[in-house]
Structure 1
């Protein structure tokens, strides 16, 4: 196979990574943007989404379509409620102090991780995708007769991976509509701009914080549900998700959703392409070096604003 078809295949794999990463990173960016909380436990909410998807599928024992549909509805809702409860019982009681919230979310991370290890076990377990048809992909070439399509052997992608890309785009569009076109989104943006002023106008910011923290966790859990038919559920899988999410949020700019989306696209695509042609480890090294350069030359991120 020529280089061009390989590049297209790697790009599609990168698009899947970027789609899942965008959902996870947007949840992290949303929490920081509104609450000014660095949620170190965000990766564990991603892990819980994947683990709960396996639990729901195993408990139902129905066909893959019904089981996956139940998982994609139940897992983000359960994780979101769990996160909102953690906000009310832990973060609210320490008054969202930046230093103490980091320590508190580290504690939440280890609690969730160890509880999952005790209840779920150390084994990685797969979830059957609702559909997984292999779709052959065409390529083109210029021959003696001009432009022509041909079908290289092995150039294909599964229908489920295309579904992941489409589902992530639909959810991200829904988040944009929520923030820009609804009263709830207006309240969230007002709280983000000036929490004290929003409270003076009668906005219950503590409820807004619980809602935002739960929504961010639900987005991470949804990412876990979407990825688990591709990658097996494991109690340690939150580490890589947290690292890549922080990389994306730092590059895009803390609290900047548009910057987060662009950075997720860049990091996800590069991670997929570099992983296919070289190794996943090299992709992580390059992403970390990019973060270091951003922190040195533009600490507020590519699309963030400098604190005044």
Structure 2
């Protein structure tokens, strides 16, 4: 039970991060190698905002929850206009360009933030005991073993991630900007012919993708810590999730994130974390061989 719950927390955060990556690829056809650094930047900015705000932890965290994703989104939009637009969104050039953005963000963060890992205090963190059950000679017995517990903040992370993912889904399917995104995704040239400002749509999409990664980092940083090298694992896992779920498929991305993280948590408890990573890599290989379009194929947001 505890492994499943911990896996659900990391799955929720991974789903947010991977959905941002999937959205950028689905609409812009850009493989954003700097996505993990936007995640890292969100965590670092969350620490800065919470540290400068002072006072009660909830005040600093609440400000970080708003300020960090917005700032990261603005930085991403600026990078899109200043770099990606100038290389014409060419697939090969954008990979090189986003690698450059990756190193710039990482090194600037190292020079300003430093090499130390620093925690952000959660706004609330009430410990919640988890029940366990077993069948005894007297029948079904329910009890609360010592040490088997979670926290209210971890449950809040799962709930908040679900709300944000639903909001993204509604944004893509029920709003004008979502309609423009989907039209641009289907055919860029036709969208231009109908007067859709494709460059602006791309900037908004890139900003939203980076903002989702930053939001995921703000949610997880009270559980882990902010560090300038923390972007590597989220980037790798996001690529794995996007490949398994289907490139550009938001529902597939969410399902793949849940599958990867829940299985990772359970396998890590009963076997080893190394085996969990081996199986995830093997699953990616099988998907690429037998279903290159991903498990959800042509399903789009």
Q: In the alignment, is the contact (CA less than 8 A) between 1:125 and 1:232 conserved in 2? A: yes
TM-superposed CA distance for 1:148, in Å, is: 3.2
Q: Secondary structure at the match of 1:148?
A: strand
> Is it true that 1:177 corresponds to 2:192 in the alignment?
no
The residue that corresponds to 1:225 in the other structure is 218
> Is it true that 1:162 corresponds to 2:155 in the alignment?
yes
> Deviation digits for residues 204-263 of structure 1, max 9, x if unmatched?
010000000000000000011011011111111000000000000000110011111110
The residue that corresponds to 1:4 in the other structure is none
**Distance in 1 between residues matched to 2:277 and 2:64, nearest whole Å:** 30
> Is it true that 1:211 corresponds to 2:214 in the alignment?
no
Q: 1:14 aligned to 7, 17, 22, which one?
A: 7
> Deviation digits for residues 55-100 of structure 1, max 9, x if unmatched?
1111111211000000000000000000000000000011100000
> Is it true that 1:194 corresponds to 2:158 in the alignment?
no
The residue that corresponds to 2:265 in the other structure is 272
**Distance in 2 between residues matched to 1:198 and 1:229, nearest whole Å:** 42
**Distance in 1 between residues matched to 2:219 and 2:257, nearest whole Å:** 16
> Deviation digits for residues 89-126 of structure 1, max 9, x if unmatched?
00001110000000000000011011111111111111
Gap change, CA 1:43 and 1:156, over 3 Å in 2: same
> Is it true that 1:54 corresponds to 2:47 in the alignment?
yes
TM-superposed CA distance for 1:198, in Å, is: 1.1
TM-superposed CA distance for 1:144, in Å, is: 4.0
C-alpha RMSD over aligned residues: 1.2
Gaps of 5+ in 1: 1-7
Q: Secondary structure at the match of 2:33?
A: coil
**TM-score after normalising by structure 1:** 0.94
The residue that corresponds to 1:261 in the other structure is 254
TM-superposed CA distance for 1:145, in Å, is: 4.2
Q: In the alignment, is the contact (CA less than 8 A) between 1:13 and 1:273 conserved in 2? A: no
> Is it true that 1:305 corresponds to 2:294 in the alignment?
no
TM-superposed CA distance for 1:270, in Å, is: 1.3
Where has structure 1 moved over 6 Å in runs of 4 or more? none
The residue that corresponds to 1:250 in the other structure is 243
The residue that corresponds to 2:104 in the other structure is 111
**TM-score after normalising by structure 2:** 0.97
Gaps of 5+ in 2: none
